[in-house]
Chain A
Amino acid sequence: MQEGFGIEITRHATIIVAVVAFAYFILITAFGTYFSKFSKNINDYFYSGQRFAWWLAAASMVATGIGSYSYLKYSEQGFNTGMSGTMPYLNDWFIVPFFMFGWLPIIYFARVRSIPEYFERRFNRTARYIAVAIILMYMFFYIGYNLFTIGVAIEGMFGIPQIWSMPIIALFLGIYVTFGGQTAVIFTDLFQGIMLYLAGGLAIVAGLWALGGLGEFWGWLPVSHRLPFVDLVKNPGYNASGLFWGEALAGSIAFTFMNQGFIMRYLAIRSVHEGRKAALFNVAVTLPLSAVIVGAVGWIARAVVTKQAAVGGALAGIEPIHIEKAAHTFIIVCWETLRRNSWLFGFVVAALTAALMSTIDTLINACAAIGIYDIYKPLVKPQADDRHYLKAARWASALATVLGLLLVIWFNKQQGSLMRIHYKGIMLIIPPIVTTIFLGAFWRRFNGLAACVSMIVGVVFIMATNWLPGLVKPLAWFVVGNARDIYMPALFGMLVTAVVGVAITLLTPPDTHKNISGLTVDTLDEAMEIYKGGKPNPTVGKQVKRLPFRLDEALPFGLISVSPAAMERMKALEGDMVYLTDARWYLGGLRSQHVKFAAPHAGTEQVVLMSKATQDDAFLLDGRPVTLDKIF
């Protein structure tokens, strides 16, 4: 018997759970490695060549957004404070205008490869390397934390020491991320997102079943636990005021504007229009649904415990549930409401593992992208061929995995609640860079000197709040916040960075020597023109679906020719950019490419003409029809 995680699990059951989880590892590694053939060059490896449909990127974001810690942390929060645990997931809409019409088109049209690269193009090289340091700190922090939490869970459930479990998990992860790149990450995350929802859904249904249905759940849930918001300032660890400033603003901006993993997903999508669809789906559907999936077990636990106390014993069909440590809520409730069924419980454990793998694979790929585009290529080997960089990218992925693994040792040495350390760490890292991104994108006058100085001053001041917590008191008073909470230093850091940045900008001359066309919100028309290489044609046409294609070597690489009728339907002109894809929608753009329209062909036949090189570049298969969608 093992009791490390508050459950009694027999050796036989442990073996079954471990077999299910191990089989899952093998399956996902084989699945991810298959996609290595779709990475021909460094652009494919990291960005999949801006080719995927919105739904594929959006679905794969589900798994990226749910970490292995999410189930444990939000079930704990749900048990303690109820449905207000959904707040961090449901307060992102306020910044969506800035993203949909500002940051997304800026990075997409500028073909920015990483946030630090944006900093160099927008400001200067110094700003780039300050950003590299901050962003790598942020991402490695997340990698180490995810690995560590799953290590703790495995050790608690099966008694396997982290020194064994962590290298094995890292090995499986490292294999498919290293070989498959972003395409592997997107497809495995799609699969893992489905797994996460299935397993989370299974746990919720089992819990509701044990309670007697949805009506019983709501009836036995205390009113304080039903409310979507916590008290305004009462609890310094979790309050509505702090969540607005720290989560809805700083946290949401960091996640959508600065998280290299998410940025790379958006850059893998076939157009800005499709990117907006992914953003909409992410904020309006994925995040609310994820909030339920990761938190509902905690709410159910509270209703079960309340009902047990009222009826004076265990509920029908299950053993009594006792939660001594709220952090164990998810594991205990799943084990008991699934009626100690090892196979079903094994499936849930596999989902926990899926949550880990899908978050870390994105981060590893993102760290490798920064390693190649911001360190290796500009500083170590600027002039090399694509094959060399692809090889270096694979080494960078392997290195990022190993570094993340080493961070687990550091996490193991930390004292106190790791949930709090995690949040506190993130809140200390992100504010200066988030503010600088924001000012850089939305204020043209903001200059390089201001960006560098404000980031450094912001970091220094926010670190100072660790030793001088009184610094945030006046600000907390002003916004009616709690001076002792973990969010106010984030707001303080943002404010200091902004004030220093604005003051220096106004006191120094603008960067007139620098061409920043397309890198700020007010130059997006120019950005579109640069991206297309010609004047955009914004007229909205219709897709042309399921056309056969034929080879015509007279057409140059990257150009296609269609009939005048097809051009008219798409409202397209010669030279317009068009998305050419295999007509099978469910491939999500795996076989596709952006090309341009040549002059329409003379024939009336509905056929697409292209060269063999264009066909190969889009991975199109002989005899398979294609679909065309004009971009602009």
Chain B
Amino acid sequence: MASNGSRKSRPLEIPLMIVGVLAFIYAFPRAIIRWLGESNPWTPYFYLYGLGLVTFLIGLRIILRARACQPGRGRDTFWFGVLLAGFIFFAVLHAAWILAALYFPFKGGA
């Protein structure tokens, strides 16, 4: 959404992006429900990280395009790396958590 006068304007880019995001919001949850079922413990994981990834990527695109983040300037490269590492950290943390929940035996029976 951020604009910069020095850059070429691409009039169809934003409408296309909005349509693409809306299509994803509609289709993605239905696809994972069909694939895994509504009550599968991985369904909310993919829902959260699928839609979360789209939000995250839109954020990255905006800050890069607006030149708020300029890799190579000052400490921007470091902080850009932190953003990517943080996303991976939480995605891995939650996946490991689900695995530990499912594959560690419960002492109270079935």
User: Residues of A with Cβ closer than 8 Å to B?
Assistant: 83, 90-91, 93-98, 100-102, 105, 216, 218-223, 226-234, 240-241, 244, 248-249, 273, 276, 280, 283-284, 306-307, 309-310, 439, 442-445, 478-480, 520-522, 524-525, 538-540, 632
Contacts and interface: CB of A to CB of B under 8 A. Distances in A.
A287 B67 CA distance: 29
Contacts of B30: 480
A90 to B, nearest CB: 7
A241 B29 CA distance: 9
Q: Which of B30, B55, B102, B105 is most buried by chain A, counting CB atoms within 10 A of its CB?
A: B55
Given A216-B107, A228-B94, 4 more contacts: A230-B44, A232-B38, A479-B25, A480-B33
Q: Is the interface of A mostly helix, strand, loop or mixed?
A: helix
Contact of A97 (B43, B60, B75, B90): B60
A94 B56 contact: yes
Contact of A442 (B2, B41, B83): B2
10 contacts: A94-B56, A105-B68, A223-B106, A227-B101, A229-B98, A233-B38, A283-B86, A307-B107, A439-B1, A442-B2
B67 A525 contact: yes
A479 B21 CA distance: 12
A219 B105 contact: yes
Contacts, number: 164
Interface string B66-94: 11110001110001001100110110011
A93 B79 CA distance: 14
A234 B39 contact: yes
Closest 7 CB pairs of A and B: A97-B59, A240-B44, A226-B101, A538-B74, A229-B44, A522-B66, A480-B29
Contact of A94 (B55, B69, B73): B55
Contacts of A273: 75
B41 A540 contact: no
Interface of B: 1-4, 25-26, 29-30, 33, 38-39, 41, 43-45, 47-48, 51-53, 55-56, 59-60, 62-63, 66-69, 73-75, 79, 82-83, 86-87, 89-90, 93-94, 97-98, 100-102, 104-109
A93 B87 contact: yes
A102 B106 contact: no
A232 B45 CA distance: 9
A538 B62 contact: no
Contact of B79 (A101, A230, A231, A538): A101
Contacts of B102: 223
A232 B108 contact: no
A11 to B, nearest CB: 39
Contacts of B2: 442-444, 520-522
Contact of B74 (A94, A248, A306, A632): A632
Contacts of A219: 104-107
B59 A226 contact: no
Given A229-B41, A234-B39, A524 B68 contact: yes
Contact of A220 (B3, B98, B108): B108
Contacts of A443: 1-3
A229 B106 contact: no
B63 A101 contact: yes
A559 B106 CA distance: 66
A249 B59 CA distance: 12
A98 B56 CA distance: 9
A442 B38 contact: no
Contacts of B67: 522, 524-525
Contacts of B29: 232, 241, 479-480
Given A91-B52, A445-B3, A240 B47 contact: yes
B108 A222 contact: yes
Contacts of A226: 100-101, 104
Contact of B59 (A98, A280, A307, A444): A98
B59 A94 contact: yes
Given A105-B68, A240-B48, A231 B39 contact: yes
Contacts of A520: 2, 66
B48 A91 contact: yes
Contacts of B94: 90, 228-229
B59 A232 contact: no
B1 A538 contact: no
A478 B25 CA distance: 8
A96 B98 contact: no
